[in-house]
A and B are shown apart, each in its own frame.
Chain A
């Protein structure tokens, strides 16, 4: 398919159904997007000291994120330079060396080939420095680690642009302690990755799909989750990134610290006081415990979604894996992190009160998209954002607008037709 053809598949207000269905388009996406931009691979707290690692993915390619003995981060292709065996099959841990199980080639955490057994079997000019693990470019922002195969693209901070303001706000849920990952839910759905990408800034589905979650809450909390009724908005942040503000009161978790503590967190507040925390700390922890009032969607594979990281991984054109990473305070009161874990379990994961219904909805999109020969996915919803809420010069719509999806697809078009 030519660049021109890709450009015709994305219009201002709709995208062609082949973007969900066509395996050839998917293959091109993996090259033109996932091998060509900043892709989220891990959080710094996943690698808590020297010689730590976590396995991850950049598009379809398996990588090892490592921290070497000088605490420097590396992202390495998980493939021996000899005959390709994967050198690490553990999820996470400590390692000062990665040894290929097949012929024993060993690699340092920075990727350097340390030793080759029976090296005398190679010609005398064999040089181990020529065969390190393939290293990707890696940069971080606020603890979020991104990698790219492309050595030429702009620095991560430039790529994130105005999204940085929202990442800074999101990290305030560390309540002054910093943010740490607490565990992961992983699930798949039989459908295209962009169906999930769309969902993170889709407030429209929330009261319909998540009715049973809302019904499981007390009245006050249900009002907090009235996402369509609080004057929120969706804002295009450039480069395919967007933010959907659902609960404007919870944009800045360091504001309104004097407000009364909600009933549902009264027990937690008591527990924290009993542990000897001062009133200011209790208020800060309690206000942050439910997360931020917005979803920040970063193209192409990660979101800072209220109280967790949502990471997507395209598996095939019709299968996507999603990871919901629970986060908490790094060194903050254990009671606060316990509460965060229970809140996460309530909505998220394969048996949460929310996630299975999302996954079913996305599967239904893929199943439905198999019908019809030349039909389009409509993304034309939205009216003006409330006056003055979005940053000047940013395209914005009301909270249920499909502005974020349009922003993502315009980035898709720029990258696929480049």
Chain B
């Protein structure tokens, strides 16, 4: 049984409010998928109207009217995954190897069918003899899907050095 299946609510559960434990397990499952480049199943973790955002500014709250590193709706996420898995992008074939951990979870709000939380992500990448470290604050809004499992409605990855230079990133954060 995968982590994600394990945390689906059981029949007859009294509430649809996701718990911290459920949300944490979901986010860990997502992180594991990303490190394993399991991108096609990753697309299925998303609410169809969900937004995947990596800002260029630390502390940004409105993303549509400013420049971001990533501002993906479903169409762009699918295109991005096709690109990364195509084998024709030299920065992602092969991509850097990554190891990430997500922790320091804080629930900011939760209600019927949704939960919002903050977390910290520590990610190391390795390619061509370089080891780089990309720490980030994460913000998630997760919603309960029709099948009872959680879906990502918004994921914001704010790199600790969001305003500063990055190197090319040939994988998903």
Contacts and interface: CB of A to CB of B under 8 A. Distances in A.
Interface in A205-221: 209, 211-213, 215-216
Nearest to B85: A212
Contact of A189 (B66, B76, B168): B168
Contact of A187 (B71, B76, B168): B168
A345 B66 CA distance: 10
A219 B168 CA distance: 27
A357 B91 contact: yes
Interface in B139-173: 163-170, 173
B104 interface: no
A243 interface: no
Interface in B6-36: none
A250 B96 CA distance: 37
B167 A188 contact: yes
Contact of B70 (A190, A341, A351): A351
A118 interface: no
A353 interface: yes
Given A341-B66, A345-B71, A186 B166 contact: yes
Nearest to A328: B67
A101 interface: no
A396 B68 CA distance: 37
Interface in B43-100: 54, 56, 64-71, 76, 79-80, 82-83, 86, 88-92
Interface string A204-245: 000001011101100000000000000000000000000000
Nearest to A346: B76
Contacts of A32: none
A212 B86 contact: yes
Contact of B167 (A183, A185, A326, A359): A359
The secondary structure that dominates the B interface is loop
B90 A190 contact: no
Interface stretch (A45-53, A194-202, A360-368): A360-368
Contacts of A213: 83
Given A351-B169, A357-B91, A359-B91, A341 B69 contact: no
Nearest to A213: B83
Nearest to A360: B91
A356 B125 CA distance: 15
A71 interface: no
Interface in A322-346: 326, 334, 337-338, 341-342, 344-346
Interface string B100-138: 000000000000000000000000000010100000000
A321 interface: yes
A212 B88 contact: yes
Nearest to B72: A345
Nearest to A217: B79
Nearest to B172: A351
Contacts of A186: 163-166
Given A183-B66, A215-B86, A356-B92, A321 B165 contact: yes
A338 B64 contact: yes
Interface in A365-393: 367
Contact of B83 (A184, A209, A215, A350): A215
A381 B76 CA distance: 36
A349 B173 CA distance: 14
A185 B69 contact: yes
B64 A350 contact: no
Interface string A234-262: 00000000000000000000000000000
Interface of A: 91, 182-190, 209, 211-213, 215-216, 321, 326, 334, 337-338, 341-342, 344-346, 349-351, 353, 355-361, 363-364, 367
Interface of B: 54, 56, 64-71, 76, 79-80, 82-83, 86, 88-92, 128, 130, 163-170, 173
Given A215-B88, A350-B166, 15 more contacts: A187-B165, A189-B168, A212-B88, A215-B82, A216-B79, A350-B169, A351-B173, A355-B168, A356-B169, A357-B89, A358-B168, A359-B91, A360-B168, A360-B170, A361-B90
